[in-house]
Structure 1
Amino acid sequence: MALSLPDSALTRANYSTTQMHEVWSEKATIQSWYDVEVALAQAQAELGAIPVSAVAAIEEAATVDDERVAEMTSRSAGHPLIIALDNLRAHMSDAGKPWVHFGATTQDILDTGRVLQIRRALDLIDTALADLDAQICRFTLDHAHTVTAQRTNGQLAVPGTLGLRGARWLSELRRDRERINEERKRILCAQFSGAAGTYASFGAAEESYARKLAERLDLRFDLVTWHSSRDSYTAMMAMLAVLARSLSKVSDDLFEMQRTELREAAEVLDMHTSGSTTMPQKRNPFATLQVTSNARLAVGSAISLLAQPADLLERDPRQFEIERDVLPRVFTFVHKAITDLTALIPRIRIDAERLARNARAEGPLIVTEGLMMRLAPAIGHEVAHDLLQEFAKEWLANGITLSDFVARYPDIAEQLAGEDLDALAEPDWYVGISARIAQETAENTESSQK
């Protein structure tokens, strides 16, 4: 029985990518432990702690296949690394058996193996973010000049362009990517320091083994153990949760644009992805909803780790159990959200005419800020604000035109002499530098590589 959405054969496709699922599979997990054991043996042999002949035996037996995974998972519940080590020795010649896991403690292997999996997962996340950046860049450039209403507090505010909205998505996601890459430098750290971080098993030489192990695995070495200092894991989960919220921001904006009352955007109609089983006319934003669902699941999973108390003393297995469940889930949900959003962006159909119509839903009111700023130098900001607020009330009550309203006030009419009042009532003139922001952000490929 599957206990979670990413593990169920019925729902897995909606919550997990094949690549990320493989990173956290039993096979990949066990292989990561074996990779650490092999690197440890190589490091120890190079420094004279174990016979060189033992390394070949360990290397030969340390490749996991589906049959061996079945052997291990068929055993009754117990210490997972001991099960894996028993299986490794069972497939090994006698020359290597005494030297497997030599001087190591379980947590060193589990932690360093987990770091290898995290590196693969982060590589997938980074590649996916680069692909998403490229799609949003295209969207942003395509709509750099597409006029739309900018909304604040759910209300029409001022005109802008759809490309400006895309630029905001890009900037936020790029900051997230930069934060994750900064945290990556800290989390990709090997560990081989003994039961409590004292490096006592081999005396003064053990530090050399630890450094050599990190070098062979291309990981950072830190002299101070992190058995009970899980801040890097916690920080990475926090960064991924922030990224998930940014992904949700994009999908939620697209969801809002697809409301029947707005109809500014729509997913491509497909019975199996956006249609309704009972209402033929419906075009449900299911792809958008799926991105948001995965993003929210990622945040919720990350919170369960962030809410844990700090580890006690030199080691606290209670934290490890939470990590073992949380880390794969967060990476899985986030990666799926990124890849789904990447596929969704080019499938969204934008209705530019509807965008323009919605921007004119309140006639000239959407540009009253601009009119106020034109009048303020002559009559003062406060007077101009109050005057145009009065105009807004009258327009909503009786639809008075800007020309008729201005005609009541000779001083204002004089200030606006020579202006095309009909043109000033249109939103297009008051989009500021929206298009330039969109273009410069989308064309700034250096930012997208951070």
Structure 2
Amino acid sequence: MSQLYASLFYQPQVTEIFSDRALVMYMVEAETALAKAQAEVGVIPQSAATVIQQVAQNVLDKIDFDALAVAAGLAGNIAIPFVKQLTAIVKAQDPEAARFVHWGATSQDILDTACILQCRDALAQIETLLQQCYQTTLMQTEIYRHQVMIGRTWLQQALPITFGHKLARWASGFKRDLDRLETIKSRVFTAQLGGAVGSLASLQQHGSAVVAAYSKCLGLSQPSCTWHGERDRLVELASTVALIMGSLGKMARDWSLMMQTEIGEVSEPTAKGRGGSSTMPHKRNPVAAAAILAAANRVPVLMSSLYQSMVQEHERSLGSWHAEWLAIPEIFQLTAGSLARTLDVLKGMEVDVDRMKNNLECTSGLIMAEAVMMALAPKMGRLQAHHVVEAACQTAIENQVHLMSVISELDEVKQHFTLDQIQQFFSSDSYLGNIQDQIDTVLQEATGEIQ
């Protein structure tokens, strides 16, 4: 992505993890672990592994990245020219050790393992941001748990809720995201080492032992078998990240709609130069929501390419594997950027409680029609109560009067309820159901009181 847009869509730490320099660093880490593992098992001399590890400490400064980029276009992947450069750098220090660089491995082994290492570090950043969003949302849930506002369905005013309940639902989503991340780590963060066709025949009888040592060196799970052509681990990982992105998109959609001039219940944080218009001085646009929603539109398309890439040919594929190189970094970067934007909004969101109260009354009591119907239902049956209240609503709309004034004049209502009771039906505070119980449960989950 252009650096002009990076601050709008990305997050610096995750962007750095997926930079060209970082990718090569992770490939160096994989090659170093390979040499160390093979020396431990006795496949290559310990002296060679020692030299390779020593060279790796400052090899990035000796890599010709421009030449690497040109050669990658000819070779079909970056690993082939990278191994040539690494071998040459090792050879300059110790020709004998250079013979054992990349011993028995194939390009995909190094690139897959580097990708896993990238994803592991990027996911740690995402998890930190996710945890911060979760904790901030819990705090805001406590603050606004009793702040009544209108709940909306199909973009129409429906029934009263509280702003704390909306926040609690967001917090509950963050909790599920965190739980998902925890459950997949041991499964997806798995080393890749299989050689040309996954058999590690080049290592003869030492293949399994090398894989075990290699995985341990990298702090990754040991695979039961090679997974060159089976991409479910990476797709599961990306899918889990994409789920986070989808949830963030839902939240951004909510608060951007609540920022509409006619609603005005919340606003994104203020800052000099933020949310302005090039032509309308009065504008205060939801710029964080715009970036998050753009990312939420983009990530599903990227995921589609990953799902399609699962259909691969035989032991190693042509093209399908390569598509991951474009999609996975973008999914992680867009999600990390969106988490950072969301955290900023959650921390600094401006809430207009007066507008929330005013918006509860903009239908002149119609939002309490269900409450009135449910009060009448035990007296005359639910269907008859529905007919009575529906007709009253129509009368209130036609005469442009408050629904309570129509309901309080109906004989079938007055014979069962006093005026004070009827007035209570129209108190939004009295028709919130089990919202506070739900909020309590979300808060208790966060403290571990509910397992």
In which range does the TM-score fall when normalised by the shorter chain? over 0.9
**Which of 86, 101, 107 matches 2:84?**
86
2:149–2:163 CA contact under 8 A, matched in 1: yes
Q: Show the counterpart of 2:141.
A: 140
Cα 1:95/1:176, change in 2 over 3 Å: same
Cα 1:303/1:385, change in 2 over 3 Å: same
Identity of aligned residues (%): 28
Q: Partner amino acid for 2:283? A: K
2:150–2:160 CA contact under 8 A, matched in 1: yes
Q: CA deviation at 1:404?
A: 4.5
Secondary structure class of the residue paired with 1:295: helix
Answer with 326-335 or 198-207: which moved more: 198-207
Q: CA deviation at 1:442?
A: 3.4
**Which of 59, 62, 73 matches 2:56?**
62
Q: Show the counterpart of 1:150.
A: 151
Structure 2 unaligned residues grouped into runs of 5+: none
Secondary structure class of the residue paired with 1:201: helix
TM-score normalized by structure 2? 0.92
Secondary structure class of the residue paired with 2:350: strand
TM-score normalized by structure 1? 0.93
User: Hey, what's the Cα distance between the residues in 2 that align with 1:370 and 1:117?
Assistant: 54
Cα 1:54/1:403, change in 2 over 3 Å: closer
Secondary structure class of the residue paired with 1:263: coil
Work out whether 1:14 is the aligned partner of 2:5: no
Per-residue deviation, residues 366-410 of structure 1 (Å, max 9, x unmatched): 112122222211211111111111111111111445565345444
User: Hey, what's the Cα distance between the residues in 2 that align with 1:230 and 1:189?
Assistant: 12
Q: CA deviation at 1:51?
A: 0.9
Q: Show the counterpart of 1:359.
A: 360
1:434-449 superposed matches below 5 A: 434-446=435-447
User: Hey, what's the Cα distance between the residues in 2 that align with 1:73 and 1:13?
Assistant: 27
Work out whether 1:196 is the aligned partner of 2:188: no
1:46-57 superposed matches below 5 A: 46-57=40-51
User: Hey, what's the Cα distance between the residues in 2 that align with 1:165 and 1:285?
Assistant: 19
User: Hey, what's the Cα distance between the residues in 2 that align with 1:318 and 1:29?
Assistant: 20
Q: Partner amino acid for 1:90? A: A
Secondary structure class of the residue paired with 1:202: helix
Secondary structure class of the residue paired with 2:63: helix
Cα 1:38/1:159, change in 2 over 3 Å: same
User: Hey, what's the Cα distance between the residues in 2 that align with 1:25 and 1:448?
Assistant: 42
Secondary structure class of the residue paired with 2:158: strand
1:267–1:285 CA contact under 8 A, matched in 2: yes
1:287–1:344 CA contact under 8 A, matched in 2: yes
Cα RMSD over matched residues?
2.2
User: Hey, what's the Cα distance between the residues in 2 that align with 1:43 and 1:27?
Assistant: 24
Cα 1:109/1:407, change in 2 over 3 Å: closer
User: Hey, what's the Cα distance between the residues in 2 that align with 1:49 and 1:369?
Assistant: 76
Q: CA deviation at 1:202?
A: 2.2
User: Hey, what's the Cα distance between the residues in 2 that align with 1:94 and 1:448?
Assistant: 62
Secondary structure class of the residue paired with 2:202: coil
Q: CA deviation at 1:165?
A: 0.7
Q: CA deviation at 1:81?
A: 1.5
Q: Partner amino acid for 2:81? A: I
Q: CA deviation at 1:362?
A: 1.2
Work out whether 1:342 is the aligned partner of 2:343: yes
Secondary structure class of the residue paired with 1:96: helix
Q: Partner amino acid for 2:176? A: R
Q: Show the counterpart of 1:115.
A: 116
User: Hey, what's the Cα distance between the residues in 1 that align with 2:98 and 2:449?
Assistant: 49
Q: Partner amino acid for 1:122? A: L
Q: Partner amino acid for 1:194? A: G
Q: Partner amino acid for 2:87? A: R
1:11-410 superposed matches below 5 A: 11-63=5-57, 64-66=59-61, 68-70=63-65, 72-73=67-68, 75-76=70-71, 77-79=73-75, 80-92=78-90, 93-308=94-309, 310-401=311-402, 404-410=405-411
User: Hey, what's the Cα distance between the residues in 2 that align with 1:66 and 1:284?
Assistant: 44
Per-residue deviation, residues 9-42 of structure 1 (Å, max 9, x unmatched): 2111112211011111111111111111111111
User: Hey, what's the Cα distance between the residues in 1 that align with 2:163 and 2:403?
Assistant: 27
Q: CA deviation at 1:274?
A: 0.9
Q: CA deviation at 1:415?
A: 1.9
Cα 1:69/1:122, change in 2 over 3 Å: farther
Cα 1:11/1:411, change in 2 over 3 Å: closer
1:159–1:366 CA contact under 8 A, matched in 2: yes
